[in-house]
Amino acid sequence: MYKFGRSSKSRLRTCHADLQTIMNEAIKISDIDFGIAEGHRNLENQMQYFKEGKSKLDGINKKSKHNFLPSMAVDIYAYFNNKASWDNEHLSYLAGIIHAVSETLFEQNIITHKIRWGGNWDRDGVILADQSFDDRPHFELIDFH
């Protein structure tokens, strides 16, 4: 069983309680280690990501879910061979685990939001082919109940 290191725990603490619960449960059952790359994102970093094309949101006219405190979004990375990796295969695999965990927690009324993954923004089951912006490390809270 994997567990988060100090840096991942610190980043995760900037996130909404539902994201903390989802990620803490997912790491327990995942057969691929992963970490938390980012939770809350300040305006300066958001603007930089926008300028670099890493985000479609500038943080001023349109806020990212990372810009709230607590953050309504989290970015992850896979961890193997003693280093962080953002390769598509591992991130897609982890997305399945995280989605399954979140659906179960939502159905059990343990969390109050569902999640959306940056590899399937419209949640139609078609991965990447029908979207213009790929952000596989990204998960965000939606659908409050």
Residue 16, in any domain of the structure: yes
Residue 10, in any domain of the structure: yes
Tell me the three state secondary structure of residue 2. Answer: coil
Residue 19, in any domain of the structure: yes
- DSSP summary character for residue 68: S
Domain extent for 123? 6-142
pLDDT tens for 20-70 read 999 999 999 999 999 999 999 999 999 999 999 999 999 999 999 999 999
Residues 6+ apart with CB under 8 A from 19: 12, 39, 70, 71, 72, 73, 74, 115, 139, 141
Q: Per mean pLDDT, which range of 1-10, 67-76, 109-118, 123-132 is the poorest?
A: 123-132
Where does the pLDDT of residue 143 fall: very low under 50, low under 70, confident under 90, or very high at 90 and above? Answer: confident
Residue 94, in any domain of the structure: yes
Q: What is the CATH number of the domain that holds 36?
A: 3.30.1380.10
Give the pLDDT score at 88.
93
Residues 6+ apart with CB under 8 A from 75: 36, 37, 38, 66, 137, 138, 139
Residue 97, in any domain of the structure: yes
Q: Residue 66 corresponds to which amino acid? A: H
Number of domains in the chain: 1
Report how far apart the first and last C-alpha atoms of the chain are (Å, whole number).
31
User: Is it the case that residue 129 has pLDDT exceeding 90?
Assistant: no
Average pLDDT, the chain: 95
Residue with the two structure tokens 């985000």? 55
